[in-house]
């Protein structure tokens, strides 16, 4: 793993990205960009007025932070706005002469001694909402493909941090609504009912944002998982090129013996097999993620192959389970098909796995998760989930479904996992949830399939 990959992995795992601390997340991403690329200036800009104006949010210049009131308009710089709107990345080696950026030469580039620029878009929920600009001083610079990919990946983390920030604000609104409800408990029935509606609305918003936060985690996880086989495939492909060049040179020199030719061909076959195996692995991972993400955003009832849905989800959650070496077993008939909302089951199972990884496996050797499901003669589904962790404490049992109660405050726990699960089971599935305190954590869900 090279320097840029190490920085990207480090940033994607930092808590600032997913805890709602947007200012800290933005500062972390910009400083990591500066460290990885070695550029003197890095800045974050957001679009305003429908994309015709770009406002500087924050600037890191030669180790110092600035909040300068810089603003660019499409009317002033039409060539640049047109170029950045149609490009995945704007890599400019000579910014003063390039037709896409030379509009900035006299008023911006020369006064700041800027010679090269690398601008990448910031996306949120599928829309471009801004850019990150990396600027090289004093000399022309040709940006490499790994540097462009590195900058683009960090820019994508801005969107993930924005989503976490909005989820955090929604959570705060729900907490405030709960406090308001407590204060108004003694008021008239009409006033209390109105406050309850506000709490219900905030809770529904929280569930919605939780779904997108889950998707953000899946994206980060699958990015890391796919990077490994692709990196191996690229290395093997480079090795193939070297072997072919040596083979060709030996033919040209007329120094190639039959034994050497056979040996070279064997090496090429082995390298090709390595490329193929790793590309197939990456393809399988992307297929699993695609299926999970498609279900996650689909809220209507459809035919759901439950075993495949569970297997694909567990594969997507490996970044959560792999560090703890959690073994997963799925005991579900492949022919079991539900007519249900796949996104509900994905959210329920994600919360259960997340709770196990966060709370259950402290000091547990060989941690494991098991999931069973079957239909009875009345077409009623029973799904059972169990881990071999430490189980529920008496305090946790007493407050199991209480929103915001957690024994892991400040360590990733929100106190909403089981509350959301019960709401989804009872309201969306019209079923029953039962939690039994036995060895480890055990939950049973019953509903019509």
Summarize pLDDT for 211-264 with one digit per residue, the tens: 555 555 555 555 555 555 665 566 667 767 777 877 788 788 878 788 878 887
Q: In terms of domains, do 132 and 220 share one?
A: no
The last residue of a domain, from among 252, 272, 297 = 297
**What does the pLDDT average to over 312-332?**
87
Distant-in-sequence, close-in-space partners of 125: CB < 8 Å, separation ≥ 6: 159, 163, 212
Q: What is the CATH number of the domain that holds 340?
A: 3.30.565.10
Q: Indicate whether 4 pLDDT > 80.
A: yes
In a domain, 177, yes or no: no
**Final residue belonging to a domain, choices 263, 281, 297:** 297
* pLDDT: which is higher, 404 or 16: 16
**What is the separation, in whole angstroms, between the first and last Cα of the chain?**
46
Q: Are residues 51 and 200 in the same domain?
A: no
Asked if residue 376 and residue 442 are part of one domain, the reply reads yes
In a domain, 236, yes or no: yes
- Do 402 and 312 belong together in one domain? yes
Q: Which of 241, 269, 297 is the last residue of a domain?
A: 297
Is 179 a member of any domain? no
One domain, residues 291 and 339: no
Pairing relationship of beta strands 327-332 and 368-375 according to DSSP bridges: parallel
Cα–Cα distance measured from residue 128 to residue 122, given in angstroms and rounded to the nearest whole number: 6
Residue 383 within a domain: yes
Residues 6+ apart with CB under 8 A from 385: 349, 352, 369, 370, 371, 441, 442, 443, 444, 445
pLDDT of residue 297: 47
Q: Does residue 169 sit within a domain?
A: no
**228 and 352 both lie in a single domain:** no
Q: Are residues 305 and 281 in the same domain?
A: no
Q: State yes or no: pLDDT of 202 exceeds 60.
A: no
pLDDT in tens, 360-395: 888 899 999 999 999 998 889 999 999 999 888 888
Could you give the CA distance from residue 133 to residue 83 in angstroms, rounded to a whole number?
14
146 and 43 belong to one structural domain: yes
The whole-number average pLDDT for the span 170-175 is 78
398 found inside a domain: yes
Q: What's the pTM value of the predicted model, to 2 decimals?
A: 0.47
Task: Give me the mean pLDDT over the 76-89 stretch.
Answer: 88
Domain range for 204 is 184-297
Question: φ, ψ for residue 282 (rounded to 5)?
Answer: -60, -40
Task: Select the more confidently predicted residue: 331 or 183.
Answer: 331
């Amino acid at each position: 793993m090279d320097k840029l990959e190490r920085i990207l992995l480090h940033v994607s795992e930092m808590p600032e990205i997913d805890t709602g601390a947007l200012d800290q997340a933005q500062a972390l991403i910009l400083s990591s960009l500066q460290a990885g690329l070695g550029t003197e200036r890095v800045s974050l800009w957001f679009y305003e007025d429908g994309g015709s104006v770009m406002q500087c949010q924050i600037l890191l210049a030669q180790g110092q932070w600035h909040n300068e009131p810089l603003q660019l308009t499409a009317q002033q710089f039409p060539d640049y706005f047109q170029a950045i709107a149609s490009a995945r990345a704007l890599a400019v080696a000579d910014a003063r002469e390039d037709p896409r950026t030379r509009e900035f030469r006299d008023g911006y580039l020369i006064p700041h001694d800027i010679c090269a620029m690398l601008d990448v878009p910031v996306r949120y929920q599928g829309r471009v909402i801004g850019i990150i600009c990396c600027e090289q001083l004093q000399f022309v610079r040709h940006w490499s493909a790994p540097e462009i990919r590195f900058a683009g990946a960090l820019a994508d983390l801005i969107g993930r941090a924005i989503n976490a920030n909005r989820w955090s604000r929604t959570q705060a609104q729900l907490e405030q609504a709960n406090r308001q409800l407590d204060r108004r408990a003694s008021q008239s029935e009409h006033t209390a009912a109105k406050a309850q509606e506000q709490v219900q609305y905030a809770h529904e918003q929280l569930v919605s944002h939780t779904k997108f936060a889950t998707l953000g985690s899946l994206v980060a996880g699958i990015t890391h998982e796919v990077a490994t086989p692709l990196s191996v495939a690229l290395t093997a492909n480079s090795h193939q090129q070297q072997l072919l060049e040596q083979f060709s040179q030996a033919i040209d020199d007329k120094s190639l013996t039959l034994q050497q030719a056979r040996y070279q061909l064997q090496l090429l076959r082995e390298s090709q097999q390595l490329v193929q195996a790793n590309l197939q692995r990456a393809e399988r991972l992307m297929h699993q993620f695609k299926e999970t993400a498609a279900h996650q955003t689909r809220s209507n009832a459809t035919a759901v192959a439950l075993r495949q849905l569970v297997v694909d989800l567990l594969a997507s959650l490996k970044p959560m389970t792999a560090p703890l070496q959690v073994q997963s077993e799925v005991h579900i008939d492949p022919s079991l098909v539900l007519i249900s909302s796949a996104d509900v089951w994905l959210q329920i199972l994600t919360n259960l796995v997340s709770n196990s990884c966060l709370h259950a496996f402290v000091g547990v050797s060989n941690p494991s998760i098991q999931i069973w499901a079957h239909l009875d003669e009345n077409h009623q589904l029973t799904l059972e989930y169990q881990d071999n962790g430490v189980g529920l404490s008496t305090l946790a049992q007493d407050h199991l479904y209480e929103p915001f109660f957690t024994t892991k405050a400040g360590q990733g726990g929100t106190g909403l996992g089981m509350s959301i699960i019960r709401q989804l089971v009872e309201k969306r599935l019209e079923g029953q949830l039962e939690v039994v305190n036995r060895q480890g954590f055990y939950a049973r869900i019953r509903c019509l399939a």
